[in-house]
Structure 1
Amino acid sequence: MEDKIYTSRLSDFYKDLLTEKQREYFLSYVNDDLSLSEIADISGISRQGVWDTIKKASKMLNDFESKVGYMQYYDKVSSALDAAQAHLTELSEHKDSSVSECAKRAIDALSSIR
């Protein structure tokens, strides 16, 4: 299950780099949970042809992430934003109103980029 989630997330980041057929078959298989036979029937090709296209697309998505690392970078930035927001939330309850107001403005600024 974890592998399917990872693969689905990869497609969220890099699917536009696949060919139209690769994207169509891959998303039907991973996100729509269609079987190879169902995709083959819809597309008018063999199950093996569908499988080969999906495997190639999966390899390409993994290669893109290995080279570019955008998903990993996104996860790191997202974690850092979560941590910053948690610390700012604590500061927003500070006794000194200037500190708490500054923290609230920073929280609003962080929220606007998500």
Structure 2
Amino acid sequence: HQKKIYEDVVYNDFSLSEIAEENGISRQGVHDLIRRCNKILQEYENKLHLIERFVKIREEVGSIQKLAENPQISKEELIGKVNEISHRIIEEL
């Protein structure tokens, strides 16, 4: 129930009124539910650091892409650096 309501707000951009009407609850009830969900998600993030890890991995992938686009790097050097970066990514997972 909470998941569907939260998805309607976040993914489907429904208004509180639309969600309240669809689910037979008050706008205040929807607002409180959204606030609770945000708090729960923030607590998970504080414990797991998923956003921080995602950003680090995305930066590492960007580094690999830059290396691949560099025409002046030798094949051996490219393989070595990609290997090094991929190990850092694996450690992050």
After superposition, the C-alpha distances for 1:46-101 in whole angstroms (9 at most, x for unaligned) are 111111111100111111111100121011111111112202321xx248xxx348
Distance (Å, rounded) in 1 between the aligned partners of 2:49 and 2:10: 21
Question: What is the distance in 1 between the residues matched to 2:16 and 2:62?
Answer: 39
Q: Which amino acid aligns with 2:43?
A: D
RMSD, matched Cα: 2.2
Asked whether the equivalents of residues 89 and 103 of structure 1 are also in contact (C-alpha less than 8 Å), the reply is no
Query: For 1:22-41, what aligned pairs fall within 5 Å after superposition?
Result: 22-41=2-21
Q: TM-score, normalised by structure 2?
A: 0.73
1:43 aligns with 2:35: no
Contact residue 94 and residue 100 of structure 1 kept, 8 A: no
Question: In 1, Cα distance between the equivalents of 2:72 and 2:76?
Answer: 9
1:66 to 42, 46, 62: 46
Query: Residues of 2 paired with 1:41 and 1:65: CA distance?
Result: 31
Q: Which amino acid aligns with 2:6?
A: F
Which residue type is aligned with residue 23 of structure 1?
Answer: K
**Distance (Å, rounded) in 1 between the aligned partners of 2:76 and 2:48:** 39
Residues in 2 aligned to 1:58 and 1:94: alpha-carbon distance in whole angstroms: 47
- Unpaired segments of 5 or more residues in structure 1? 1-20
How many residues were matched structurally? 81
Moved over 6 A (4+): none
